[in-house]
Amino acid sequence: MVEVSAVSEVGNAGTVTSVDRASYFNGLLNLRSTNSPFQEIRDRAAANVHDRSIPSIRDEEWRFTDVSHLLTLTLKAVEPARLGFPQIEAFLLPEATNSRLVFVDGIFAPDLSAIDNLPDGVMITHLETALELIPTVKDYIANLPGEDEVFTALNTASLNDSAIVFIPKNQDVEVPIHLLFVSTQAGTIVQPRALVIAETGSRVTLIEDYVSLNEDAYFTNAVTEIAIAENAEVRHTRVQRDSTAAFHIGKTAVSQARDSRYSCTAIHLGGRLSRHNLEVYQTGEQTETTMNGLTVIDGDRVGDTHSLLSLSKPYGVGNQVNKTIVSDRAHAIFNGKVFVPQAAQQTDARQLSRNLLLSPKSRVDTKPQLEIVADNVKCAHGATVSQLEDDEVFYLQSRGIDQDSARKLLTYAFAIEVIDQIPVSTLRDRLSAFIRSQHT
């Protein structure tokens, strides 16, 4: 069995040296399978990764997020695992009974998936089948901006399979599509991938769900690409509830054509270290983008959200609200960028970062960022970092609620504003119950 561990040389303070950082990705490349229909794409991405080192806090995009602990984890390739329905039943959604793809440790599990009675032309499958039925799928793989980001390139270099969601022209898919990625093995690297193609005039609700059956340490490096054609709509919910000992780095890249609509509600609950890079590119006029995020972390965990909204045409609309709840010694990071070039006149873009610290040692670094060249726009951004307000706690106490319950109720109310944006009621109720159990 091939394994990789980057810790071969340690600095005076116990930190991983540059030698380790430089060799780390090469070791992960050695864990790749050798069978893939995308060898040319894989080789190009591998060349991108080969001469690069894992980011450090000296890199601007990673200056608040130290990934050194990942380098202490000895990683191996996954072995095929078989699960039964009882093991994943708690994660299944009744709304998606016949519209579900399940991947176990990154490997497609047809026995656990269900893709019956779909509307005409709608395809929910994995890469091998999609290539046979829709040859144009290959034109979308690894074809969105941001492919050169090092973890994204690592995923592409290891490309072997992918969840594929194809919605044909003018097709409104009423049932949600559930992509369930289950981790079961300790000390493994899993690199799941998903591709969503929404053709002109189509509409779909997508649930992208990362779960774990254990509390072991492992590494998930996920990439999702979403191509939205003219006048199409994608409502996307991304839930990351990995093991609290795991490392999760995820990339969502979205391309929006004219008159399209995209909304993303991203919920981050798991991971010793988690990072989500959400990048949305508006390539046509009158495009609408909504991004909602919630990160809930405790202990000494780290939760990082980096987002980008890039507008290139007039009359674009963007609205973002990102919230964090941070307790104990946990550390949350938010860096949100909005680019409005000269061509993007009449843009209306708003961005808000709200952060709730529940203990004196909890920490947040937040940086909402607008870069505006156009001169006829309505753009605003803001950030708040606060603790629970004493007068709000006192008000609830005056109504007969004890202090501890009052604080937990206010924390729940802070989170539920984002969770309520999830369009699938079962998932919304389960996540609400989880937040309530943690803070009530």
Q: Are 213 and 64 members of one domain? A: yes
Residue 99 included in any domain: yes
Give the span between the Cα atoms of 411 and 435, in whole angstroms: 9
Residue 375 included in any domain: no
Asked whether the predicted pLDDT for residue 216 surpasses 60, the reply is yes
Asked whether the predicted pLDDT for residue 188 surpasses 50, the reply is yes
Residue 320 included in any domain: no
Q: Which residues of 170-191 are buried (b: 16+ CB within 10 A; e: fewer)?
A: ebebebbbbbbbbbbbeebbbb
Is the separation of the CB atoms in 267 and 304 below 8 Å? Answer: no
Q: Are 261 and 394 members of one domain? A: no
pLDDT recorded at residue 4? 58
Q: Are 268 and 396 members of one domain? A: no
Question: Bigger pLDDT: 132 or 37?
Answer: 132
Asked whether the predicted pLDDT for residue 14 surpasses 50, the reply is no
**DSSP 8-state class, residue 10:** B
Confidence label for 1 from pLDDT (cuts 50, 70 and 90):
very low
Each residue's pLDDT tens digit, 82-127: 899 999 999 999 999 999 999 999 999 999 999 988 888 999 999 8
Q: Please, is 330 exposed, middle or buried when counting C-beta atoms within 10 Å of its C-beta (0-12, 13-18, 19+)?
A: buried
Q: Please report where in the chains the tokens 């380790």 appear, as a residue.
A: 20
Model pTM score:
0.93
Confidence label for 5 from pLDDT (cuts 50, 70 and 90):
low
Residue 290 included in any domain: no
Beta strands in 283-347 (DSSP E): 288-297, 302-311, 317-326, 331-340
- The closest alpha carbon to 217, from 244, 181, 250, belongs to 244
Residue 181 included in any domain: yes
* Cα end-to-end span (Å), the chain: 46
Give the span between the Cα atoms of 132 and 127, in whole angstroms: 9
Q: What is the average pLDDT value for the chain, to the nearest integer?
A: 90
Residue 378 included in any domain: no
Summarize the confidence of residues 304-313 as an average pLDDT.
Answer: 95
Summarize the confidence of residues 242-249 as an average pLDDT.
Answer: 96
Collapsed DSSP state (helix, strand, coil) of residue 406: helix
pLDDT recorded at residue 402? 78
Where among 262, 283, 304 does a domain terminate? 283
pLDDT recorded at residue 23? 80
Q: Are 52 and 179 members of one domain? A: yes
Q: Are 401 and 278 members of one domain? A: no
Where among 283, 315, 334 does a domain terminate? 283
Percentage with pLDDT > 70 across the chain: 94
Each residue's pLDDT tens digit, 33-86: 777 778 888 989 988 888 788 898 989 999 999 998 888 888 888 888 889 999
Asked whether the predicted pLDDT for residue 372 surpasses 70, the reply is yes
Domain residues for the domain of 440 are 390-440
Asked whether the predicted pLDDT for residue 15 surpasses 70, the reply is no
| Residues facing 386 on adjacent strands | 356
Residue 81 included in any domain: yes
Give the span between the Cα atoms of 374 and 340, in whole angstroms: 6
Where among 253, 283, 313 does a domain terminate? 283
Collapsed DSSP state (helix, strand, coil) of residue 368: strand
Domain count, the chain: 2
Each residue's pLDDT tens digit, 385-413: 988 877 877 667 777 787 777 888 888 89
